[in-house]
Amino acid sequence: MVARSHDPSFIELFTPKLVTVLRERYGLADLKADAVSGLTVAIVALPLSMAIAIASGVTPDRGLYASIIGGFIVSALGGSRFQIGGPAGAFIVLVAATVAQHGVDGLLVATFLSGLMLSAIGLLRLGTFIKYIPYPVTVGFTAGIATIIFASQLKDLLGLTLDGPEPGPFVPKLEALGRALPTANGAAVAIAVLSIGSILLLRRLRPHWPSYLIAVALASILAAALQLPVETIGSRFGGVPSSLPAPRLPDLSWARIQEMLPAALSFTLLGGIESLLSAVVADSMSGRRHRSNCELVAQGLANIGSSLFGGICVTGTIARTATNVRAGARGPVSGMLHSVFLLLFMMAAAPLAAYIPLSALAGVLAVVAWTMAEKHQFGTLVRASIGDAVVLLATFGLVVFRDLTEGILTGFGLGALLFLHRMSRAVQVDQPDTANGDGRAPYDPAVATDPDVVAYRISGAFFFGAAAGVAAALDRIGEQPKAYVLDVSAVPVIDSTAAATIEGFARKARRRGATVTIAGARRPILRVL
């Protein structure tokens, strides 16, 4: 009981940040700041939510439902002060593949199941383990996602007409798009170039202006005024509804659950990583600290809520969260108001959405892909070391050419092996300098000068990865003394494999009539031995 008294209680771990903020004398000035930041984020989220939904193979309104319902729940119940929830570009590939194979109904089931899994992971306090994913894996994964997103937008960027459905895999997709290049629409290309150029120019000259929304609005006005022959939201989808649908439970039959379980697992893995990475970014910008397990529970509930209203997957969105912090948000109320403003926009301006050119939204996602590619970090890791480069390139290649989940799991496995290899090489076995103690208290002079006693010091984490090397070093000891001293005071951790190695060395020594004395073992190491 005494040992657990300092651990955070269940209530402390899962208290939403909204409750914490409201306890801090939340006042009118805070509400005003949150309203301004919430409006700013809503303006950014409006075109992005629709663009991500369209790129994911569903109607644009489903992206808005995810931002409105899921975003509100993430902010109201989450463990981060500044997290903004909604559809994210990282999910485009997974969602599009799920819709193509199982339809929208299957997507809703997978999103619902993913919500249950995320909440369970949070309640089991497993969220802290996500931080162990190596940095080269996250960079390679993000760059791979950015590459796939950009490739998925080429059709609308160029206004291409394909003979059949657009292939999902990367290489067949590029081959089909290459064959369709003669059908490129000049007006669509011009709209896309205008959108991308407007975004980049506004970012340079007026970085605080909503560049995405302004670019989409300008493209829509130009296309409508000149009656350009470009495909719009209205021509492809018939427009956007002006209200939320009634909540409806997806088909949760046992057969359907079994069918959608693999997709739900992929959503869960990606959603957990993406949301906690976004929360970490918010922490680094604000100096605050999020509650990872509480955040995962909220992300799970948000996905359940989104699926009930027909929305797509919800996760923490790094770009919108960063915008929220820069806009001066004081707490989660800004994220809740961002969802309210999106709902008002949808109710008031839904008919205008029909005029938005799809090439303009493709231009928005092209900029998003370029921004999220983390080009500088990619180049730095490639040059850093061979091991990091292998992990990075393997993750990137598998994400682009195979599968997202395969990329993450393979990258994580390679990263773990690389870490074990580096740790094993850091373990040393040498004879301590008994004359000056090597910075430590010297051994007893009588022992140190006795030619029948040999002392060796083991330094570093002594675990299964290093056991073979340590065993070989001990076996190379040429002397045949009457006693050995193994100093493990510089060993921070030991496992059962290492303990078995020491036991084996002691057994060999006993057969030669020698004894083995272990010195400097702390209590955790003694327990394993």
Query: Angle formed by the axes of helices 358-372 and 211-225, to 10°?
Result: 150
Winning range, highest mean pLDDT, from 60-69, 372-381, 410-419, 430-439 = 60-69
**3-class SS of residue 86:** strand
Least confident of 101-105, 317-321, 333-337, 338-342: 317-321
- pLDDT band with cut points at 50, 70 and 90 for residue 277: confident
pLDDT tens readout for residues 457-506? 888 888 877 777 787 777 776 567 788 888 888 888 888 888 888 888 88
With vertex at residue 135, the alpha carbon angle to CA 129 and CA 137, rounded to the nearest 5 degrees, is 90
Q: Going by DSSP bridges, is the β-strand pair 428-430/453-459 parallel, antiparallel, or unpaired? A: antiparallel
Distance of CA 289 to the CA centre of its chain: 17
Q: Has residue 16 got a pLDDT over 70?
A: yes
Distance, in Å, from the CA atom of 67 to the CA atom of 86, rounded to the nearest integer, reads: 4
Strand partners, 490: 459
The tens digit of pLDDT for each residue in 237-258 reads 887 888 999 999 999 999 999 9
Q: Which of 438, 431, 430, 434 is nearest to 449 (CA)?
A: 434
Query: Which pLDDT band holds residue 4 (cuts at 50, 70, 90)?
Result: very low
The average pLDDT across 107-117 equals: 96
Amino acid 478: pLDDT: 59
Whole-angstrom distance, CA of residue 419 vs CA of residue 106: 39
Residue 450 confidence (pLDDT): 65
Q: How many angstroms from the chain centroid is the CA of residue 314? A: 13
Alpha-carbon span 364 to 149, nearest angstrom:
11
Q: What does the block give as tokens for 105? A: 């109904």
The Cα 71–Cα 76 span in angstroms is 9
pLDDT for residue 397? 93
Residue 435: is its pLDDT beyond 50?
no
What pLDDT, on a 0 to 100 scale, did the predictor assign at position 108?
96
311 pLDDT above the threshold of 90? yes
Q: CA end-to-end span of the chain, whole Å?
A: 26
Query: Is the model's pLDDT at 437 over the cut of 50?
Result: no
- How far is CA 75 from each of CA 19, 80, 113, 293, rounded to the nearest angstrom? 11, 8, 21, 14
Q: Is the dihedral of CA 319, 321, 322, 324 positive or negative?
A: positive
List beta partners, residue 462.
Answer: 494
Residue 93: what pLDDT?
81
Predicted pLDDT of residue 246: 94
Instruction: Determine the length of the chain.
Output: 529
Tracing tokens 């990583």 back to the chain, one arrives at 273
Mean pLDDT, the chain, whole residue set: 86
Domain-wise residue ranges, the chain: 14-419, 429-434+449-528
Q: What is the spatial distance between Cα 445 and Cα 185, in angstroms, rounded to a whole number?
A: 89
Q: Please say whether the beta carbons of 305 and 78 come within 8 A.
A: no
pLDDT reported for residue 449? 57
Give the contacts of 402 (CB within 8 A, at least 6 positions apart): none
CA distance 51 to 64: 10
Determine the pLDDT at residue 250. Answer: 93
Per-residue pLDDT at 225: 92
DSSP-assigned states of every residue in 447-476: HHT-TTEEEEEEES-BSHHHHHHHHHHHHT
What is the mean pLDDT of the segment spanning 144-165? 87
Local confidence band at 338 (pLDDT 50, 70, 90 cut-offs): very high
CB 279 within 8 A of CB 80: yes
**Does residue 483 sit in helix, strand or coil?**
strand
Global pTM? 0.76
**Percent share of the chain, pLDDT over 90:** 40
Which of 344, 46, 373 is CA-nearest to residue 212?
46
Residue 8 has pLDDT above 70, yes or no: no
CA pseudo-torsion sign 85, 104, 51, 373: positive
Residue for token digits 């083991």? 458
The pLDDT of residue 119: 95
List pLDDT tens digits, range 364-383. 888 888 887 878 889 999 99
Closest among 395, 399, 397 to 411, alpha carbons compared: 395
Write down the architecture of domain 429-434+449-528 according to CATH.
2-Layer Sandwich (3.30)
Widest distance between CA atoms in the chain: 99
pLDDT of 133 above 80: no
Q: What is the mean pLDDT of residues 269-277?
A: 86
Would you call 203 helix, strand, or coil by DSSP? helix
Angle of the 186-205 helix axis to the 135-158 helix axis, nearest 10: 130
> Who contacts 112 (Cβ-Cβ below 8 Å, separation ≥6)?
250, 252, 303, 304, 307, 308
Helix axes 375-384, 386-401, angle to 10 degrees: 130
